[in-house]
Structure 1
Amino acid sequence: MIKKILNLLKYWGKLKTRVNHIFTNLVSLQKKYMLPQNTGFSKLSKNEKINWITTTYFSNPIESEQLVKQYWNTDAAIQKLHDEFIENTLTNFYLPLGVAPNFVINKKAYTIPMVIEESSVVAAASKSAKFWLTRGGFKASVLGTEKIGHVHFTYLGEHKKLATWFSIKKEQFYSDVNYITKNMEKRGGGVLDIELINKTDKLEHYYQLHATFNTKDSMGANFINSCLEQFAKTLKHELADCDDFSAEEKDIQIIMCILSNFVPNCVVRAEVACKVEDLNEETNVDPLEFAEKFLKAVQIAEIEPYRAVTHNKGIMNGVDAVVLATGNDFRAVEAGAHAYASRNGSYSSLSHASIENGIFKFWLDIPLALGTVGGLTSLHPLVKFSLEMLGKPSAEELMQIVAVAGLAQNFAALRSLTTTGIQKGHMKMHINNILNQFKATKEEKEKVLSHFVDTTVSHSLVVDYLDVIRNNSDTTN
């Protein structure tokens, strides 16, 4: 027994030493990585923020600080504008702004701005635009512009009683947001409808005010959220004043008021069509065989989620690039598009194809809540540049342009996949990134590009051939 007690004491001593060691390390880490108590990072000046970041996390603070400041805009006013877009700004993170020419949409010519870091996207979109330029171009139409928002709340009484009360009081909800909606209504927008939705079968006591909106040329997030918050105030105030409800029934709880980025009734369609025999650009590809193989590829994406995700990602390469270039919210667009792709219970393709009576048709339906006024559209100089390049489009016209960019990208990807394979074009575009990564000279780049004109491209093969060039150069010297 004494031996067991001694062993326990010995174990406890080791455990106590280990705990003290861990605590000491935690204190040391806190001192190194945490700001001093009562110091708010946001209160520091920009230079103080950079200094703290670089001295805390980097082995060479001076070099790291120089890197950050290297990407500041030399125009102080423009840099200040960028600094104020978000919080705790250190510097600018650049992405390329490219253009895809040759687009004809509804018989109108466009050069489309695209902001993206991925090689081959702009080239593929341009190639698709050129292909369809001589085949009637793209057609696009807006199928709906309805946006949605909710007041989420709990109510402890009977649904029928609340529904009857709401139908009587509904006009009050409209009138109480007049001060918010009057300017939007002058432009033809405003609140379209408000419905009381019973969700108690999904979650106990849960209800919604489901409101629909038309926000015209603005994306409308702030407008919608302001209306929803007023609806919540009206709900509580009007119910509190109603003698027909008990104190418990009046005690509703507002959970939140927020727009939805799922906009299944704010949808645009982009499409192309031509005779099957006109799909004859590639001399070694039979047009009918190509059309049938293309159709089968789309059908696979319609029924196989593993393929559909990659298929739709290709569409979003084009969509996101234009959404970014025009100062819109690509995260909202992405979320809404993928929810729409799942609306029938299984994730599926956003694009579709058919061959009927010798006509090949390819189209895309996608929800897009976009704006051309407000937000970054009136602040970011390059967003203004992009919108002017597009002819200062309305929100509906921009929806059509963005959808066409997605369809063009999808067509290019499927054409490659069903003919030469995706890697041939993509990796050739990617060579420059590989060469830049290994700091290739102009002469080395020319030799590598010449070598891979008719040769399979991969990262390792490019690096190996670059090594051969350099080793030969060392031997010669």
Structure 2
Amino acid sequence: MNNAVAGFSKLSKEEKINWIAKEYFSTPSEAIVLLKNYWNTDEKIQKLHDEFIENTITNFYIPLGVAPNFLINGKYSTIPMAIEESSVVAAASKSAKFWSTRGGFKATILNTEKNGQVHFIYKGDESKLALFFAQVKSKFFTDTENITKNMQKRGGGILDIQLKDKTDLLDNYFQLHATFDTKDSMGANFINSCLEQFAKTLKAEALTYELFTENEKDIHVVMSILSNYVPNCIVRAQVSCPIDELEEKHIENPQAFAERFVQAVKIAEIEPYRAVTHNKGIMNGIDAVVLATGNDFRAVEAGIHAYAAKSGQYSSLSHAKVENGIFTFWLEVPLALGTVGGLTSLHPLVKLSLEMLENPSAQELMQFVAVAGLAQNFAALRSLTTTGIQDGHMKMHLNNILNQFDANENERITIRKHFKHHAISHSAVVDYIETLRK
């Protein structure tokens, strides 16, 4: 493509597809067929998907799987997981089954506070600004009553607003730092609407404040936006049992296994290179449930990784210990989730996923998500400290390789039989396929 395209957003979907196929593909007709093959045959559902984002040309499918047998706080649940990575759902299911006979998972909500800031520049006497804020603070609440009234009926709303002096970090930089309870909604639109009204009130009230000079009245609002870092919106998930109950097929010496497991976690606590991969495994479980339930996994990822670095060094989200003959494994993560609003009421599979979870509250969903992350982490660490992680992963990955090379049914049977007794790697499978076909 040598030239920019004008008015692309105004083209119909058919016109966009035809233009893309012509501009970028050597066989435009094949590209068009592929794109249209992924359209939903139900026109109503397809129209819904078309309107989720801009310039939609087709749907990009990710498998939706389920992990059954999760015993959480004494109740069994089946957890939906949307993810393309092989072995994640199998690993979560395996962990769920393992812990279902050892007391199950315990999940607890520690806090549900969300926050946002009005970032502004004030060039004046800081003591005057403090007096001004104390005088007008109540106005921020009254000026947002039209926004907060419905949330207040559900028991939520604005919790507090603070003036924060950040001038030691950036000249003349201050914040209005507000905290919120958004109940069962994720609350992004609610929080941002409140913050934008705070900014208007701040500027308007400053203009008439008698102690400000003309220069001080000119408060410059840089931006008003929620934060995806929610260190006071925390859920804890935990498993524990007597060490001797850890015994199973691959854990013949429970004491040795428990000690290796704890050591593996401690390495992730102090070594950032390991911690990143360790936490990525946790996010395999967390993201999959967040995506399946129509929540924002990018926001969740950003907030959780910031939390993992809250000490000043990136560290493990999960922790383990052995005390008095009891093995305990747990994590605490910040999760700002919603079960109303956004995609939760629009996407048919999101609604199905939430119904599968028996229409949870936001706090209940936080528990499901945290448990999925802990289960995934346990499965990974169990493999790493026993048989090694590649054995199970490559068995699952074998299907992807066979699909990549369009293996027929007879080939699949022969290849699977062969690799029951040989190590699986991408190159080994490719070599064996080529040998079979010769």
Scaled by the length of structure 1, the TM-score of the pair is 0.91
- Work out the CA distance in 1 between the residues paired with 2:398 and 2:186: 39
Identify the match of residue 57 of structure 1 among 24, 29, 44.
24
Deviations 1:214-242 (A, max 9, x none): 00000000000000000001101111111
2:348 aligns to what?
381
Asked if 1:97 is matched to 2:69, the reply is no
CA offsets 1:111-167 (integer angstroms, 9 cap, x no match): 000000000000000000000000000000011000010000000111111011111
Q: Output one character per residue of 1:13-42: Cα deviation in whole Å (capped at 9) or x when no partner.
A: xxxxxxxxxxxxxxxx534xx22xxx3110
Match among 381, 392, 415 for residue 359 of structure 2? 392
Give the total of aligned pairs.
438
The one-letter amino acid of 1:163's match is A
Q: Does 1:248 align with 2:252?
A: no
For residue 313 of structure 1, the aligned residue among 274, 280, 286 is: 280
1:271 lines up with 2:243 in the alignment: no
| Counterpart residue type for residue 296 of structure 1 | Q
1:325-340 alignment runs, 5 A limit: 325-340=292-307
- Specify the SS of the correspondent of 1:366: strand
The Cα of 1:283 is off from its aligned counterpart by 5.4
2:42 pairs with one of 55, 75, 78: 75
Quick check: 276-285 or 208-217, which moved more? 276-285
Is the deviation greater in 58-67 or in 343-352?
A: 58-67
Q: Output the amino acid matched with 1:30.
A: N
Cα contact 2:99–2:239 (8 A) shared by 1:
yes
User: Against the structure 1 CA distance between its residues 171 and 431, is the aligned structure 2 distance closer, same or farther, given a 3 Å change threshold?
Assistant: same
1:357 corresponds in structure 2 to: 324
Q: Provide the rounded CA distance (Å) in 2 between the counterparts of 1:470 and 1:286.
A: 45
Q: For residue 160 of structure 2, what is the aligned residue in structure 1?
A: 193
Question: Aligned to 1:417, which of 378, 384, 391?
Answer: 384
Indicate the residue corresponding to 1:115 in structure 2: 82
Deviation at 1:330, TM superposition (A): 0.2
Distance 2:111 2:189 in 1: 20
- Tell me the equivalent position of 1:450: 417
1:30 aligns with 2:18: no
Pick aligned residue for 2:194 from 227, 231, 235? 227
Please show how residues 337-352 of structure 1 align to structure 2 within 5 Å: 337-352=304-319
1:82-102 Cα shifts (integer Å, max 9, x gaps)? 000000000000000000001
Q: Which amino acid aligns with 2:10?
A: K
Amino acid at match of 1:270: A
Structure 2 unaligned spans of 5+: none
CA–CA separation in structure 1 for the residues paired with 2:386 and 2:125: 62
**Match of 2:118?**
151
What TM-score comes out, normalization by structure 2 length?
0.99
- C-alpha displacement of 1:455: 2.1
Structure 1, 216-225 or 448-457: larger mean CA deviation: 448-457
Distance 1:142 1:283 in 2: 33
d(CA) in 2 for partners of 1:161, 1:447? 81
Secondary structure class of the residue paired with 1:30: coil
Q: Is the 2:128–2:211 Cα contact (8 Å) retained in structure 1?
A: no
Cα shift at 1:260: 0.2
CA distance in 1, matches of 2:254, 2:33: 56
Q: Which sits farther off after the overlay, 453-462 or 190-199? A: 453-462
CA distance in 2 between counterparts of 1:136 and 1:142 reads 19
Q: Distance in 1 between matches of 2:7 and 2:180?
A: 40
CA distance in 2, matches of 1:389, 1:83: 25
The match for 1:18 is none
Q: Percent identity?
A: 70
Larger radius of gyration: 1
Of 356-365 and 447-456, deviating more is 447-456
Alignment of 1:429-468 (within 5 A): 429-468=396-435
- Equivalent of 1:287, from 237, 242, 254? 254
* CA deviation after TM superposition for structure 1 residue 454, in Å: 3.1
Cα distance between partner residues in 2 of 1:98 and 1:293: 31
Superposed counterparts of 1:175-186, under 5 Å: 175-186=142-153
Q: What RMSD over aligned residues (CA atoms) do the two structures have, in Å? A: 0.8
| Segment of structure 1 superposing worse, 44-53 or 319-328 | 44-53
Q: Structure 1: which 4+ aligned runs deviate by more than 3 Å?
A: none
Indicate the residue corresponding to 1:141 in structure 2. 108
State how far apart, in whole Å, the 1-side matches of 2:251 and 2:335 are: 38
Q: In 1, Cα distance between the equivalents of 2:250 and 2:180?
A: 50
Letter in structure 1 aligned against 2:326? I
Aligned residue in 1 for 2:370 = 403
Per-residue deviation, 1:107? 0.6
